[in-house]
Amino acid sequence: MRVLGVDPGLTRCGVGVVEGVPGRPCTLVAYYVVYTDPADELPLRLLHLDTELTRLVAEHRPESVAVERVFSQHNVRTVMGTAQASAVAVLAGARAGLPVQTYTPSEVKAAITGSGQADKAQMMAMVTRLLRLAEPPRPADAADALALAICHIWRGGTRARIAAAADAVRQRTAASRTGARPGAPGRPGPKRQGGTR
């Protein structure tokens, strides 16, 4: 599974492309930071970001896009630009017809380090280890974007495994019910929802 992660920002927007399967070290494909000039007008900045993100999605053809969810408890001055950059990132994925998932910073930290309160250094160390890199990816915006992509691969994988397990339970249940009613051959067992959601 190839995932493009975006750590949205109007001045610096991190982009990380990662390939992997759940629960195993992932492979780094590429990472970038898209810069826009704070001296430029907003339309120009958003257009530049849109052009670059759309190009990177087309170039790397990920199966899905993961974007950090913006929180209002951030610095209120910068949160507006971050919210606008995140909209551009979400749109770049959605316009390409890709599933786009957002994750909170705590969800990403928990997925990567096991703790939702992990600090920057811990996150950087784990991203470096999980991607089997010789050196930490720089700048931090790129590392955050890679962490988002890894988080999505692993969490998506967890969801897929839960769904597969639920399917297996469902099939076994249906089979045993059919088997318990020899007097009604060919009659399918009642449909049941798996208990795991």
Q: Which residues are catalytic?
A: 7, 68, 141
Which listed range, 85-93, 120-128, 131-139, 188-196, lies at the site for its own copies (CB under 8 A)?
85-93
Per CB under 8 A, 86 contacts its own copies: yes
- Interacting residue with its own copies among 1, 30, 83, 166 (CB under 8 A): 83
Per CB under 8 A, 88 contacts its own copies: yes
DSSP symbol at 103: E
d(CA 115, CA 110) in angstroms, rounded, equals 4
d(CA 146, CA 156) in angstroms, rounded, equals 15
- Minimum separation from the CB atom of position 93 to its own copies (A): 7
Q: Which secondary-structure segment (H or E) carries 116?
A: none
Q: Indicate the residue among 95 and 138 with the shorter CB distance to its own copies.
A: 95
Q: Which secondary-structure segment (H or E) carries 125?
A: helix 120-130
Q: Record the tokens describing residue 11, joined without a space.
A: 């001045």
Binding mask 18-47 for its own copies (x = CB under 8 A): ------------------------xxx-xx
Residue 135 marked in a binding site = no
What amino acid occupies position 42? L
* Whole-Å CA distances, 6 to 92, 151, 175: 11, 12, 44
Task: State the residues that interact with its own copies by CB under 8 A.
Answer: 42-44, 46-47, 50, 70, 72, 76-77, 79-80, 83-88, 90-91, 93-95, 99-100, 102
